[in-house]
Amino acid sequence: MQESGGGPAGLVELRGITKRFGGLVANDAIDLTLAAGEVHGVLGENGAGKTTLMRILYGLTSPDAGQVLVDGRALAIRSPRDAIAAGIGMVTQHFALVTPMTVSENLLLGRPEGLTIDLKAARRRVEEAADRFGIRVRPEAAVADLSVGEQQRVEILKALAGDCRVLILDEPTAVLVPQEVKALFETLRRLTADGMAVAFISHKLSEVLAITQRVTVLRRGRVVGAVQTARTDERELATLMVGRPAQAAERPRGSPGPAVLEVVGLDASGRQGLPALRGVSFSVASGEILGVAGVSGNGQTELAEVLSGMRRPNAGSVEVAGRSVAGLGPRQMMAVGVGRIAEDRHAAVVLDLSVAYNLVLEHLDEFRRGPLLDEARIRANAEELIERFGILARPDDPVRTLSGGNLQKVILARVLSRGPAVLVVSQPTRGLDVGATDYVRGELVAQAARGAGIVLISEDLDELLMLADRILVFFEGRVVGNLATASADPEQLGLLMARGTAA
């Protein structure tokens, strides 16, 4: 199972790469070989060191120790310029595109050649790429008008310019709908058939199994497994990645109780004042988890904001336990029993205040003695919640110093300790590692069992399929699908998300 040097001839070889950030060892003597013609999966939880390793290969980060060999020769890669010269290209999670410019113009920006601008050559390159690799994107389109998937294709085209032989993709599927993932995989197959090496970074097991030939699994900065994809399975990879078999938060789905949240004909505007929600109606019963799916930017954020009291709807009604609450502010929303887990965790807590204060921030007036704050009770409350929710922090620590998982636990503790009747939860496990993810999901399930009605907004389809009783699909601010999870399949959901229709 464990292989050492038994793979195909290495195009790029990483030897003993070590990188420390302060006391944290991000990469600990990592060996990795990328061979021509293979998609090599780099698998690991958040914080396992995948991105650091790839940034080192691309010259964005310099290693403390170790060597990079290209074609068997040691090479010092000090900047992306060195990497590109060595035939290494990278597509990061954050695109570096000039959005008002066209695709061709962006390609020229990536690699200005000579003194004059040759838009025709850039255009030819786009057309060539379409033929050779199946990367389809209109050269004249402004990048701003493209979908995220198309923008990613432009980034890949940029990386492929010149004599790129090694392509690094950092979590490329995180922003894609299932159909776009398919197209990306098709492209990767053609690229490797052409003799390229692709490093495919992911923490999604199914994708790694589907597209890679070999997988290197990282955990806490170390290589814990290097396997042939054909000879492994989801279970083994998950065990390697987490260090224990991952378990899904399965839950008994009983018959739901009375409706606790009723939304009818909701209209709301988004950040730029454009309509973001158009006639949205649904209801959530006590004990029910209602999933909300959609490609980001189709109204989910605004729905969460309206239900949290952060955004005033233009029309429609929202009732919590029969009481009309549309247009109320955050304070009143909490008062009627709505608990809110926001999409942007960092905007839900005051980062420079302590854990103890953040835990009582929503209900400061209940923690006072006369006109003064009751510091003793605030502290006792913090200690109790830290214990109950397993938060790795002290009451006086500024929240800024907490990891993502612990930060989310602070927010959960603040909300769940109030026993809300309705929970509005946005992207609750985004960016969390498997352990924290399991914990958060378990808490949500427990809340539903307690009788809370939960609106679960998530871009993680697996999460919705695992937790939700029903799934609403949002497209351009409308509800285009309302499916019982038992009868929903990812393909159908993907079509609804991408096109607004399953037909």
Partner 1 sequence: MTGWRRRIWLGGCVLVLTFLVTVPFLLMAGVNPLAAYAQFLIVPLTSRFGLLEVAVASIPLLFTGAAVALAFRAGYWNIGAEGQLLLGAVAAAGIGARVSNLAPPLAVLLVLGGGVLAGAAWGLLPALLRVRFHIDEVVTTLLLNPVALLLVEGLLNGPWRDPVTRFPESPRIAVSAELPAVVAGSRLHAGFLIGLAVLAVTGFVLTRTPAGVKLRAVGLGPDAARFAGIDVARTLIAAALISGAIAGLGGAGEVAGIQYRLTGGLSAGFGYTGIVVATLGGLTMGGVALVALLLGDLTVGASSAGRALGIPSQAGDIVQAAVLLVTVAMLAVNRYGRRRRPRAVAVAGAGL
**Could you list the residues that contact partner 1 (CB under 8 A)?**
93-95, 148, 151, 175, 296-297, 308-310, 329-331, 333-334, 340, 342-353, 357, 361-362, 364-365, 367-368, 371-373, 375, 398, 400-401
Least separation in angstroms between residue 78's CB and partner 1 is 23
Q: Is 214 in contact with 32 (CB distance < 8 Å)?
A: no
Q: Between residues 163 and 375, which has the closer beta carbon with respect to partner 1?
A: 375
Least separation in angstroms between residue 73's CB and partner 1 is 36
Place of tokens 């990812």: 490
Q: Between residues 166 and 461, which has the closer beta carbon with respect to partner 1?
A: 461
b/e map 260-295, b = 16+ CB within 10 Å: bbbbeebbbbbeeeeebbbebebbbbbbbbbbbbbb
Place of tokens 């998609």: 39
Q: Is 98 in contact with 106 (CB distance < 8 Å)?
A: yes
CA distance 405 to 382: 17
CA distance 395 to 438: 24
Least separation in angstroms between residue 312's CB and partner 1 is 13
C-alpha closest to that of 337 among 353, 349, 319: 319
Q: Between residues 82 and 476, which has the closer beta carbon with respect to partner 1?
A: 476
Q: Between residues 174 and 264, which has the closer beta carbon with respect to partner 1?
A: 174
Q: Between residues 6 and 370, which has the closer beta carbon with respect to partner 1?
A: 370
What is the helix, strand, coil percentage profile of the chain, to 5?
Answer: 40, 25, 35
Q: Between residues 217 and 349, which has the closer beta carbon with respect to partner 1?
A: 349
Question: DSSP class of residue 172?
Answer: G
Least separation in angstroms between residue 334's CB and partner 1 is 6
Place of tokens 């300790």: 417
Q: In degrees, to the nearest 5, what angle opens at C-alpha 219 toward C-alphas 214 and 222?
A: 85
Q: Between residues 315 and 335, which has the closer beta carbon with respect to partner 1?
A: 335
C-alpha closest to that of 197 among 156, 228, 166: 166
Q: Between residues 240 and 341, which has the closer beta carbon with respect to partner 1?
A: 341
Query: In this structure, what are the phi and psi dihedrals at residue 30, rounded to the nearest 5 degrees?
Result: -90, 130
Least separation in angstroms between residue 151's CB and partner 1 is 6
Least separation in angstroms between residue 372's CB and partner 1 is 5
Least separation in angstroms between residue 159's CB and partner 1 is 16
Least separation in angstroms between residue 219's CB and partner 1 is 23
Least separation in angstroms between residue 132's CB and partner 1 is 25
Q: Between residues 179 and 239, which has the closer beta carbon with respect to partner 1?
A: 179
* Beta-carbon count within 10 A of 145 CB: 12
Q: Between residues 159 and 166, which has the closer beta carbon with respect to partner 1?
A: 159
HSE, CB side, 13 Å, CA atoms: give it for residue 42. 31
CA distance 443 to 426: 14
Report the residue count for the chain: 503
Residue 316, sorted as left (phi over 0), alpha (psi -120 to 50) or beta, turns out to be left
Least separation in angstroms between residue 461's CB and partner 1 is 17
Least separation in angstroms between residue 43's CB and partner 1 is 21
Q: Is 89 in contact with 164 (CB distance < 8 Å)?
A: yes
Place of tokens 């009788």: 451
Which token pair is 425? 């939860």
Q: Between residues 35 and 361, which has the closer beta carbon with respect to partner 1?
A: 361
Dihedral angle of Cα 407, 411, 417, 420, to the nearest 10 degrees: -150
Q: Between residues 131 and 365, which has the closer beta carbon with respect to partner 1?
A: 365
Greatest pairwise CA separation for the chain in angstroms: 75
* Beta-carbon count within 10 A of 20 CB: 14
Least separation in angstroms between residue 40's CB and partner 1 is 25
